[in-house]
Structure 1
Amino acid sequence: MVLAAEKGPWSPEHLRGDLPELLTGGCPLASGGRPVFFRSIGLGVEDLAIARLLERP
């Protein structure tokens, strides 16, 4: 995230929420108009949660 902020147009203000907020509806879903990034911290449960979220219509 540091490199993205230094070398590109990304900044912390672009964050919409963290994984728990995304899964519980506490933040808006991505519109598909720009790339979505997920920073894993190495917990397999996060990968499963993201997979489940991506299955939603």
Structure 2
Amino acid sequence: MTPFSIACLSLLSMSVLLMVRQKRASSSRQKNITSALAALMGVIFVIFLIFSILTYS
């Protein structure tokens, strides 16, 4: 398992978890927190992606 594939799997599971949580969340404040978390996860993933490409090239 390369770090890249581990990152892909973790991001996939996190996004599924966040989608489930967003459907359950009733208040708009919870939805805002969830979308902020999802955006943060995306940013972290992009940074990790660039880092892994640079190290494995």
Fold similarity call, TM over 0.5: no
Q: Which has the higher contact order (CA 8 A, sep 6+)?
A: 2
Normalising by structure 2, what TM-score? 0.36
Q: Which has the larger radius of gyration?
A: 2
